[in-house]
Each structure stands twice: as C-alpha cells, then as structure tokens.
A and B are shown apart, each in its own frame.
Chain A
Amino acid sequence: MTAATSSAVTSELSLRDLLAAEEGLLILGATGRQARLEIGWLLKSGDRVAAGVTPGRGGQSVEGVPVYDSVIDALRRHRCSIAMNYAPAVAAADAAVEAFEAGVKVVVMSAEGVPLHRLALAMAAARRNHALLIGPNSQGLVVPGVGRVGCPGGSDPESRFRAGEVAVVSRSGGMTSELSMLIRSWGWGTSVQLALGGSPIVGTTLSEGVVLAQRDPSTRVAVVFGEPSGRQEHDLAEAVESGRVTVPVVAMIAGRAVDALPATLTFGHAPRAGSAGEQSVAGKLTALLAAGVKVATSLDGIRTALGELLAQPGDSREGMLP
C-alpha cells in the first residue's frame, strides 16, 4: 500500500514564498493562554500576525491583533494563507478543517493529544483542498530571514537562528531548535526549519518534510532527526533511494539504547510496535545507510558530516531573523 502523500507536498508549494507574500499569520484559537504568549513573542520579534479566530470571541483583540468568530470572517478582511493553530486538543482538528475549507494553504497544529478520528478528518480535508497540515504537536516552522510560524526559538529567535544552507527536519520540537542553534554555532545557517510533531500519525512526515525543504533554493543539505516509533525513517530511506529526495541527507535517529528494552515501554513521543528488525532503531539506521544517507550517532557526527558535504563553513550568512 502506498503512502497518501499530501498533494501540497507533491505540488510546487514553497514555504519561503508563502511566508514572504503573507500579510501576516492567521492564529486559530487566538485567545488561549499559549496563543496569547506566543502572539506577543511573534510581534516582538517582527513576525507579522494578521488576525486571530476564536468562536464566540469575535470583536476582541490580542496584543492589538483583531479576533474573529470564524476563519471565513477573518479571510474577508485579511489575506492569509498560513495558520498557526493553538486550539486545544479537542477542538484543534475541527479548527484545521474549517481553515482548509476556507482556503488556507498551510496549517501548523500545536496541540498534543488530538483525538485520532478527528485528526483523520483534518488530514482528509487537507488532501481534498491540496493543502498542508504540519503536526499535531508541532512547535512550528522557521525560514530565517523571512519569518516563522509558531515560536521555535521562543522569545529570542535572533539568538538561535541564522539564514543559511542547512534544512532541519525533525520529529522532536525541542531538538529542531537545538540543532539550528548548533548549526549556527558551527558557522553555517538554516534554510528551513520544520518541527513535524511527535504524534504517532502526523500531517507531514519526515520524507515529505525533506521534499518541502529541498524545494527551498537555499537548501544544500538536510539534517533529519528521527525517533524509535513508527516507520517514517524507512519511508525517508525509500524516498532517497527512489530519487524523490535529491538533497544530501544527514540523519540522526535518537534512541539506539532503547532497542534493548521491552517494546511495551514508550520512549519519545509515540509507542513502538516492536524493538527488533525493521521496527528497531538499528533497523532504521541500516535502511538509511543502505539508501546513501549519512548517519550520525552524535551531534559531533552531524557537524563532521555537514563539513564533508558543505566543504566550506558559513558561505551563506544573510543575517538573523527576521
């Protein structure tokens, strides 16, 4: 059975172009605690926020950003194609469906623990509308020098990211920013940073994330961070082997040590189906190596691999966010 690749990934959608053309982000669930905090951080760091949506709160504002009752209401007055979704877990999938049906092209979903049957409806809505869902449980995405969706980098993205040539695509939100910060400290910069979310089923997978990132004209290498559960890393190996992924990939799959522990224990963000053969971290590393991916078992290993692939450090330093 083949993967149901999002048509937004197979089309020519460019995160950099979308972000650059945006009047500002649309914030779903704009009046909640985390949304209020992050809207403040976004505005402070110069990222544009056009409008918010919370049903029943139309007419209010958050940090000066107008709030509407529905996505349709917001889009009548603002030109937004990207939404950051802070709606709580029980409402997050329905909020995404509403946004896709109204014509939003990219929705990044922050909530953890979204009911799966609801999430499946949001994924179906994304496919039907040729749109892209990132998450759930995603911190967001960053195109340094252009903007960000959500708040990777927290309140001070200027100290974490620099525009450059390395795409960072990760199943772990925290490690996404950690890797970008290290890459900056090693003398390179980030083209696109994507935190895909650690849920068992996600809107955008590792291989799709790399395909999106390689479309960015700045990307010369992709650094990928994987985890023990699921088979996204095997799908990535197949995408490299089949030629769908053309950019060189450096991969780190954390959790080698848990192969020796019972599969009934959940490490990372999602349960493992097993701890042997294909289902093990060792099995994933073997598949990636066989596909020609450079596999690193330490952060220093990532640095060495990047050094080999990029030859000269820091040949692209357009500046910091935004």
Chain B
Amino acid sequence: MAGPAGGCEIIVRMSRNTFIAVAIVLAISAAVAGAWFAAHLGAPQLPEHARVLSTPRPVPDVPGVDHTGTAFGRADLEGRWTIAFFGFTYCPDICPATLHVLAGARRLLDDLPDGDRPEVVMLSVDPGRDTPERLAEYVPFFHPEFRGVTFEAQHLPELARAFGAAYAYSALGEDGYTVDHTASLFLVDHQARVAAVFPTPHTAEGIATDLRRIIKLETAR
C-alpha cells in the first residue's frame, strides 16, 4: 500500500516543485525584462563621467569679446546648453586636444534639435596674447561654430571662481610663459548656470553620451 501512495505523493510534490520553479523563472525573467526596459527605453540614466552639480552655480555677467569682435556676456549663455572650457591659443597640447575632442562630440550631437545642440565656447585665460583676431585664426579651425572669448585680465578671477576653475602663469620656453588651467569642461544650462563638470580625460563619445543623458534628466525634472 505504501507503494502507490508514495508514488502519488511524489507526483504531487514534483508538480508543486515544478510550479515553484516556473514561478521563480517567471519572476526573475520579469525583473530582468523590467530592468532592461528601464535602462534602455524609459527612465533617464545618470551621466557616466560628468558630475552634475546639486546646486548649479550662476555664471557672473562679466564682459568679454568673442573671436568675431562681438560682445559676449551672460545673456549669450541663456536659453541654450553651452559647453565651456578654459584654454589659450599658445597651448600646443591639451587645448587643441580638447578642441579636437569637442569637435568630435559636437558632430555626434548634430542630430539634436537646435534648442538642445550645445554651443562650444573656449574662455581664454591669456588676455595678454589672445586677441579676438588671434582667437578667430584659431578656434573656428576646429569647428566653424565654436566660439572663442577673451576677457580683460581684471574680470578673469570672478569668472573662473564661478566655474570653480583655476589658472596661473608660469615662465616657459622662448615664448615667455604658459598658463596652467583647469582642464575640465563645464556644462552651462539654459539659466546660464554651471550645471555639470566633465573631468579629464575626455572622449567625444563620452561627452556626447553624457550630454544626452543630462539633457534627458533635466527635461524630465
């Protein structure tokens, strides 16, 4: 008698086990699918490299002149995204490298609508040598829409402070001096506030991906 009863019990237990197993598989599949959809479709993702500031810092309205000789001020930053960085034209290594990478990033973002496509601005930390004419010979070479801006020396500290950037002059070579400067890129939001910082090293793909993510995050906010 023990035989048939035991067999039945086994069948019942097995089907219960199978049911539990199927339930586990289904639950895990659902969780994985949910995570995949969240990551790939709906929910905005955090940028990989850029640091989004919890409290964006307003850019002060200090007067500058761009490479076309046009006045540049805070109003030029309002109502659009701007990638700004500090550099100078007598910089042979890191500034052209940054400009080249930014040109690549900008091309990767060509599909964005006008309102989202970032303007790229090099803020010169070398008022002594970077005249608008000199910037005109240099900055648009990397991308025709890039803007170079020079400021009077007296205004630079206030500007740099707002960005959390540093610069300093050091004697070097026959050309007299070089400028040490923060190599990070800064994302300025539609309210002319520093909203995110991209630390070095920079790649065109990294910048473009993070910028898309930040725009999505800000739009969802």
Q: Bound pair: A and B?
A: no
Chain A interface residues toward B at CB < 8 A: none
